[in-house]
Amino acid sequence: MTSETASRDVPSDTQPTSDAPDDDGAARLATYVDVWWHAVDDFTKVLEAVPADAWDAPTDLPGWDVHAVAAHIAHLEGVLSGAPEETVDVGTPAHVTGLMGLYTEQGVVARRDRSPDELITEIREAATSRHTALLADPPTDPGATPERIFGGIGWSWERLLRNRPLDVWMHEQDVRRAVGLPGGLDSVAAQHTADYLVESLGLVVGKRVAPPAGTTVVLDVAGSAPYAVRVGDDGRARPVDPPAHPTVRIRLDREDFVVVAGGRRAPTRAEVTGDEELGRAVLDSFAVTP
């Protein structure tokens, strides 16, 4: 897993098909803002519970300890709230590849000497400022481009606001695993993230695994509705109603699913029924955040 994008947790090609304005767009964006706000609150509370001697504990992300994860969130939330972009020399760390990876690392390196309390305060102040602005002037067009976004990436309001809860919650879980503070798997951000990542099944099956036309795969993640795709004659895997007898059915609990979809670890409790070889190929290919 590498720092290829401005955020280390952006599902590849899983943005919703509803980037254009629609009747429910404004309400959907408002929901994303609310979920992100809860995710930030949960994340900072977890950071406050990290023991003083555990901030250098390594996470599942190569090259990043707990302090780096907190710095990353502080960086992106700061930029989104209006803080100036930072330009620092990050050197040539092995875990950084690509220009956007260098951008991400700048935020971490720039905060290397900040204390845990300073990072927590920065996150809360930046998020509060941004939350206040979003409530005062809420975006209403999912397909419109935000005036301010990190790294100059060309995301719509839909993709930006949908991805922020995912990024924050995934990093909350990184911290929890690193310091032995399990939990947070039933929050609104956890539900949002799991449901979002489930939608990556079509990408994984159709583009990465590429089984024969007619293949059906059902992904059954605890706490989320079963999600199924069928491979068409053109090789694309499109969503379908879950069939009673798919080619393969994969069952996972939420934690196992997010660690494999996030490229963190291999699942430990996956249950595969049907074509076991296909099921394992899907799981082996399911790291959908860079």
70-86 average pLDDT score: 95
Decide if pLDDT at 1 tops 60: no
Between the alpha carbon of residue 16 and those of residues 158, 167, 215, the distances in Å are 8, 16, 23
Q: What is the CATH number of domain 25-181?
A: 1.20.120.450
On whether the CB atoms of residues 110 and 75 are closer than 8 A, the answer is yes
On whether the CB atoms of residues 200 and 224 are closer than 8 A, the answer is no
pTM of the model: 0.92
- The pLDDT mean for the chain works out to 91
Percent of the chain with pLDDT strictly greater than 70: 92
Torsion of CA 92, 97, 98, 104, to 10 degrees: -80
Using a 10 angstrom Cβ sphere, with 0-12 exposed, 13-18 middle and 19 or more buried, the burial of residue 277 is exposed
Between 96 and 100, the more confident residue is 96
175-187 average pLDDT score: 98
Task: Give the whole-angstrom CA distance, residue 118 versus residue 121.
Answer: 5
Percent of the chain with pLDDT strictly greater than 90: 80
Decide if pLDDT at 19 tops 60: no
Which secondary-structure segment (H or E) carries 67? helix 66-80
3-state DSSP assignment of residue 184: coil
Supply 141's token pair: 């067009």
Q: What's the pLDDT score for residue 73?
A: 97
pLDDT tens for 199-208 read 999 999 999 9
Helix, strand and coil in the chain, % to nearest 5: 50, 10, 45
- Number of C-beta neighbours around residue 44 at 10 A: 20
3-state DSSP assignment of residue 16: coil
Largest CA distance in the chain: 56
pLDDT tens for 234-253 read 999 999 999 999 999 999 99
Nearest to 130, CA basis, from 6, 26, 45, 33? 33
Q: What's the pLDDT score for residue 290?
A: 64
Decide if pLDDT at 170 tops 90: yes
Q: What's the pLDDT score for residue 10?
A: 57
Residue ranges per domain, the chain? Answer: 25-181, 200-284
For domain 200-284, the CATH architecture is 2-Layer Sandwich (3.30)
DSSP class of residue 58? B
